[in-house]
Amino acid sequence: MKLWGGRFKDKESKLMEDFNSSLSFDKELYEYDIKGSIAHVKMLAKCNILTECERDKIIDGLESILKDINEGQLLIEGDYEDIHSFVEMNLISRIGDVGKKLHTARSRNDQVAVDFRLYAKDRAKEIIEEIEDLMNVIVKLGEENNVIMPGYTHLQRAQVVTFKYHIMAYHSMLLRDKKRMINALDIMDESPLGCCALAGTTYDTDRNFTAKELGFKKPVDNFLDGVSDRDFALEVLGASSIIMMHLSRLSEEIILWSSKEFDFVLISDEFSTGSSIMPQKKNPDAAELVRGKTGRVYGDLIALLTTMKGIPLAYNKDMQEDKERFFDGVNTVLSCLKIMKGMLSTLKVKSENTKKAVKKGFLNATEGADYLVTKGIPFRDAHRIIGEIVLHCEGAGKGIEELSLEELQKFSPVFIEDVYEFIDYENTLNRGIKKEIIK
Q: Which residues bind ligand ARG (CB under 6 A)?
A: 22, 26, 82, 108-109, 112, 315, 319-320
Q: Which is nearer to ligand ARG, 109 or 240 (CB)?
A: 109
Compute the least distance from the CB of residue 318 to ligand ARG, in Å: 9
Q: Phi and psi for 148 in degrees, rounded to 5?
A: -75, 150
Q: How far apart are CA 326 and CA 328, in angstroms?
A: 5
Among 47, 54, 52, residue whose Cα is nearest residue 204 = 47
Q: Which is nearer to ligand ARG, 82 or 190 (CB)?
A: 82
Annotate 110-139 with b (16+ C-beta within 10 A) or e (fewer).
bbbbbbbbbbbbebbeebbebbeebbebbe
Among 185, 214, 187, 175, residue whose Cα is nearest residue 124 = 185
Catalytic residue among 154, 240, 272, 345: 154
Q: Which is nearer to ligand ARG, 28 or 370 (CB)?
A: 28
Compute the least distance from the CB of residue 267 to ligand ARG, in Å: 41
Among 196, 184, 198, residue whose Cα is nearest residue 233 = 184
Q: How far apart are CA 382 and CA 411, in angstroms?
A: 10
Compute the least distance from the CB of residue 30 to ligand ARG, in Å: 13
127, 237, 248, 256 from 296: Cα distances, Å: 17, 11, 12, 22
Q: Which is nearer to ligand ARG, 88 or 177 (CB)?
A: 88
Compute the least distance from the CB of residue 151 to ligand ARG, in Å: 49
Q: What contacts 57, CB < 8 A, 6 or more positions away? A: 95, 98, 99
Q: How far apart are CA 290 and CA 331, in angstroms?
A: 12
Compute the least distance from the CB of residue 330 to ligand ARG, in Å: 17
Residue 383 annotated to the active site: no
Compute the least distance from the CB of residue 231 to ligand ARG, in Å: 16
- Helices within 104-230 (DSSP H only): 108-144, 163-187, 207-213, 223-228
SS3 76: coil
Q: How far apart are CA 171 and CA 316, in angstroms?
A: 41
Residue 154 annotated to the active site: yes
Compute the least distance from the CB of residue 226 to ligand ARG, in Å: 14
Among 98, 88, 46, residue whose Cα is nearest residue 65 = 88
Phi-psi map region of 376: left, alpha, beta (phi>0 left; psi -120 to 50 alpha): left
Q: Which is nearer to ligand ARG, 50 or 233 (CB)?
A: 233
Cis peptide before 314 (omega within 30 of 0): yes
Contact between 219 and 190 (Cβ < 8 Å): yes
Contact between 168 and 142 (Cβ < 8 Å): yes
Catalytic residue among 172, 259, 268, 275: 275
Compute the least distance from the CB of residue 59 to ligand ARG, in Å: 23
- Catalytically active residues, by annotation: 154, 275
